[in-house]
Structure 1
Amino acid sequence: MTDYPSKKTMARQIAALLPMFLLGMLVSACNGSDSEAKSFSDANAALEDYEAFLRSVSKQKTLSNSELVSSVLEWKALDDSVTAAMFRDSVHTNRAVVDSTYFSLRDSITDKLTSLVDSRKRSFQDYLDFSLAVNRPRLDSLSNQLMMSAHRFYASMDSVPVFNMDNVSTIHRYEDILDDATRRGIHTKRDLFLFLRNEDRAFRSFLVHLPTLGGIPLAKVRDSSSALMKEMVELCQGDNPAFTTSEVVILLTMRNNRRLLQNALQCVNDINNRKVKGGDQAAAYLWMLLQPWISFDGFALSLMSEAQIGTLKILATETPKCVVKLGKPQFPIDTDELPSLLIKTTITNL
């Protein structure tokens, strides 16, 4: 039996997978709202408007996904204006009272919006549409150039064939690639991109044999990969770093995006081709299938190509079908409820 964390622990982990501190380093937030910013004469006037919004949203009994998006975008635009007014008016108001009123109203609004998520059944496509609309940051120009360059780099590897080997030989080859990178070390940009190129081919070759890897030890691949990722992070440290912190975070996030999407898509193919047995294997496949949904935040989405967003749309359609085909293995969260939980987590962390 696969030992999964509890439902409460899983919910906390989902919330923790929204690393907003990275966004502050790398991007300028962009909610995509067409709502105009409001200007208030003072903090009290702003809070009155905030309270009026709470009364308005409290009257709602149910919201479609598009209506939910509109309400959240309206709230965020208003919230920005209210906090700006509070900052400007900080000298002339009782700050403790103003802050207490603001946080009380904000909590009430988020509670109401999250309760409205449960007013209808939400799908993975609903979650994807919602997340793209309300929580997709806009990259600055330098980060965007790096992202486009990295997409071209990875696209060039799509035509590189996987290794024509059996499962055991493929894992040994994967281990050899990691061992070689460990011996050489990752010290320069050239070292990094050479490793990423070799690793990508090894990972795609690994996925071909996914249904048959249950009895093959994979700890060395896991541990060596983790150690090499630490070396990648260290490339932005020291007196003369090869990369900036932003560059390393972007490259690591894009690597993770690509691997999770490739892995989930391979799971869909294996499940549809009846290559997955029951029991622990079905449980493992369920986790791999759901991992992109739990892992991707607004920043990860901002680094995806249109093709990758297209893959997510395919996964949104196929995921519930595949869960049924797997026999709905035990999981700490009802998979039917997961899209709603993800939407509510996104709202709470905005």
Structure 2
Amino acid sequence: MMEVLPADSLATYITEWVNIRDSVFMALRRDTLNPHSALQAECRIVDDSVRIELARIAASGNYSFSDVLLVREKISPYTGDGELVEAAGIIRPFFDSLDENGMIVGGKQKVLSCYRTFLAETLKDSIMDIEELQEFIKQEDVVYRSFLAYLHDYGDTDLSDITRATEKCCSLVFDAANRGCVSYRDATVYMALRSNRRLVQNVLACLGDIRCGRVHGREQAWAYACMILQPYVSMDGLCMALMSQDERYALTGIASDTSGALLRLHEIIQSERHRLSELPAMLLEILVLTI
């Protein structure tokens, strides 16, 4: 196998191997008449060997953060899924309309109070149908954008309750799908588009705070570094496949700014050495080992 691969070629090799591997294991599972435990074990050994080699190539390459996004998008199993793309196209105008809504005024404590109240009321009332799902996303978008406006001021604030309550609210959406109140496709696409929107908003807010010198102290710098890296570690295949053109454009800019932002954060953290130039390759290595 080649020692150095451009990102698009690496993505092609990964995709081809995953397709072959999945086809083999699917065929073995379908053949219920013959035992295949030994053959399955051999296939797993081959799979491990190929992934380790691909990971080695990824780790040795001179990749950028843009390359990480490119690979993640190209290896998505949902890329080219016309039905999902069509569903997202129908739903997307709703998300575009969210920009027309205002933000909470009154300061950071007012924002936190409104955020917690909104989540508590959602958990109390639940989400019963598609209209209530839309209303949840609409109201959450207002409090979340308002929250991000004060993100740099929340360095010492315990926000774990908001995180937990948000996770529970998201569970309500899929509970509604399990009850048949919302279709699984709608629940999945709405939540994927919500995740994409929130992620881009969050990272842009982080980059703005770093650019304006609003990040102070090691702990806050570490937190911002983790948030900036989310596009490269947390966007799953569905989210990658359902990005809008505006989100792709935003992520292109984010990828261009990531190295500089991390370098500024490194100056705040003041660690003895850093491997920022190697980070994209390390992220690709981890990605390959976990497919």
TM-score, scaled relative to structure 2: 0.84
Match of 2:216 among 248, 270, 277: 277
Does the residue aligned with 2:100 lie in a helix, a strand or coil?
coil
- With over 3 angstroms needed to count, the CA separation of the structure-2 counterparts of 1:225 and 1:110, relative to structure 1, is closer
State the partner residue of 1:287.
Answer: 226
Match of 1:181 among 99, 102, 122: 122
Match of 2:163 among 207, 222, 231: 222
Match of 2:57 among 116, 130, 134: 116
Q: Does 1:157 align with 2:98?
A: yes
| Distance in 2 (alpha carbons) for counterparts of 1:81 and 1:260 | 33
What letter corresponds to residue 285 of structure 1 in structure 2?
Answer: Y
Contact 1:150 1:251 in 2 (8 A): yes
Contact 1:187 1:242 in 2 (8 A): yes
Contact 2:78 2:237 in 1 (8 A): yes
State the partner residue of 1:302.
Answer: 241
- With over 3 angstroms needed to count, the CA separation of the structure-2 counterparts of 1:155 and 1:102, relative to structure 1, is same
- With over 3 angstroms needed to count, the CA separation of the structure-2 counterparts of 1:189 and 1:115, relative to structure 1, is same
Q: Please, which moves more after superposition, 107-116 or 258-267? A: 107-116
1:97-136 matches, within 5 Å, as 98-136=39-77
Contact 1:63 1:119 in 2 (8 A): no
Does the residue aligned with 1:346 lie in a helix, a strand or coil?
helix
Match of 2:191 among 252, 275, 278: 252
Contact 1:69 1:134 in 2 (8 A): yes
State the partner residue of 2:204.
Answer: 265
| Distance in 2 (alpha carbons) for counterparts of 1:205 and 1:180 | 18
Does the residue aligned with 1:200 lie in a helix, a strand or coil?
helix
- C-alpha deviations, 1:23-71, integer Å up to 9, x for none? xxxxxxxxxxxxxxxxxxxxxxxxxxxxxxxxxx2xx332232332343
1:207 offset after TM fit, Å? 0.5
1:1-350 matches, within 5 Å, as 57=1, 60-76=2-18, 79=21, 95=36, 98-138=39-79, 140=81, 142-238=83-179, 241-327=180-266, 329=269, 335-350=276-291
- C-alpha deviations, 1:97-133, integer Å up to 9, x for none? 6545444333322222211112222221111111222
- With over 3 angstroms needed to count, the CA separation of the structure-2 counterparts of 1:343 and 1:220, relative to structure 1, is closer
- With over 3 angstroms needed to count, the CA separation of the structure-2 counterparts of 1:84 and 1:149, relative to structure 1, is closer
Contact 2:108 2:147 in 1 (8 A): yes
- With over 3 angstroms needed to count, the CA separation of the structure-2 counterparts of 1:243 and 1:85, relative to structure 1, is closer
Does the residue aligned with 2:178 lie in a helix, a strand or coil?
coil
- With over 3 angstroms needed to count, the CA separation of the structure-2 counterparts of 1:335 and 1:136, relative to structure 1, is farther
What letter corresponds to residue 283 of structure 1 in structure 2?
Answer: W
1:259 offset after TM fit, Å? 1.2
- Give ranges in structure 2 of 5+ residues lacking alignment: none
Contact 1:123 1:339 in 2 (8 A): yes
Contact 2:196 2:239 in 1 (8 A): yes
Write 1 or 2 for the structure with the bigger share of helix. Answer: 2
| Distance in 1 (alpha carbons) for counterparts of 2:120 and 2:30 | 57
Does the residue aligned with 1:132 lie in a helix, a strand or coil?
helix
| Distance in 2 (alpha carbons) for counterparts of 1:71 and 1:216 | 45
Q: Please, which moves more after superposition, 260-269 or 248-257? A: 248-257
- C-alpha deviations, 1:165-205, integer Å up to 9, x for none? 21112222222323333443322222221121111011001
What letter corresponds to residue 127 of structure 1 in structure 2?
Answer: V
Contact 1:124 1:316 in 2 (8 A): yes
What letter corresponds to residue 293 of structure 1 in structure 2?
Answer: Y
Contact 2:76 2:237 in 1 (8 A): yes
TM-score, scaled relative to structure 1: 0.71
What RMSD in Å do the two structures reach over aligned CA positions? Answer: 3.0
Contact 2:60 2:281 in 1 (8 A): no
What letter corresponds to residue 181 of structure 1 in structure 2?
Answer: T
What letter corresponds to residue 93 of structure 2 in structure 1?
Answer: R
1:303 offset after TM fit, Å? 1.9
